[in-house]
Chain A
Amino acid sequence: MKDFRIWGLKKSPWVFHVAAASCNNCDIEILAALTPRFDVERFGIVLVGSPRHADALLVTGVINRKTLPRVIQVYQQTPKPCLVIGVGTCSCSKHMFEDSYNVVGPYDKHIPVDVYIPGCPPKPEAIILGVVKALQKL
């Protein structure tokens, strides 16, 4: 039974896109990964409009005092088990905002992150690889 559940989760990860103060470039790359050219529906990946339907959260951008409560709220609204995937160098570290007073550090200080995808912005291929790596962790 447990294998069956994991099979279901692996074969149909629905992603929800959390744009937490990114420069929008990572978001555009995520959208590019969803175009017919890469055809992620082959692996069952679908972009959903509500965190309640999501299995994986794609978080972009550098986390700061304003967006932190929102990101935590979205994470709490997502039914578990769910994966969190940080997209872009911003989400991995503080990137170029190292010395900013407003930045509260990388994501895993606040919510559990499964995979980080570095790159500024990462290529669509890298994003797909990251999602696959996250699924392998299950």
Chain B
Amino acid sequence: MAASLFVQGLINGLNQGAIYALIALGYTMVYGIIRMINFAHGDFIMIGAYTLFYTIPLMVNAGMPAWMAVIIAIVVCALVGVLVEILAYKPVRKAGSMSALITALAMSIFLENLAMVLFGAKPHNVQAIFQLPTVRVGSVSLPLNVLLTIAIGLLIMLGMQFFVKKTNLGKAMRAVPQDKDASTLVGINVDRIITLTFAIGSGLAAVAALMYCSTYPRVTNDMGSMMGMKAFIAAVLGGIGVIPGAMLGGILVGLIEIFVKLFAPGWYEAVTYGTLIVILLVKPSGILGKNLGEKV
């Protein structure tokens, strides 16, 4: 009994964790490149979820596969991310980190209120994208759509790691935060790489929205704040600015959440924040974080 409960928790925790990891990736990539916490990032998930809410029925009615809606959501989120960067963040980029922070907070509030005006305050139910059965193995029930989303999440994380390590654009994304002048000198268009980073980070939020909606098919205008907060904690826990750190932090926060809720409901927030505090005390830059005070 305890073993099956554990397996169940592990699967749900991985599912939750993969969602946080994908969101944390968005925080960490943007932080990595311009040293800014994009507090509106959580709200991109809400935008992704609303896009799914409206486009899944469209796809189904048009006789197209429902997963095509995810592509649309990725494109919409990437576009919103790029617009937010160009219209709101770029103009204050040279004005200091406090201005950037306040702009990001304002953007978050703006997006949530805009969503309330456009879509109303009552929750909407998102249609399922994958109609997969739940199989039972012993006393463990395995919803196949959850397994599928975990697989998608992990695959995307591996893909990101490959992209950043091996491709030309990925290398440019690593080079820009290390030295903007040197990046320009070797031929990197720094502004374009920053925009690309926002596009990718925001696009990942759409995938996170898909994963979230396959588990909790509810969309509200403020769903992004809570998830954004937890994913932000995940990013800091794993080491902000470090891609594998975001993945590890996300999975950890997801596992902690599910297991604590399973075995000691009510303690979940205390345990999450407690872990964060302990880890930051031991290693202020996060589990995989690099010490930023290196020699230049």
Pairing of A with B:
no
B interface residues with partner A (beta carbon < 8 Å)? none
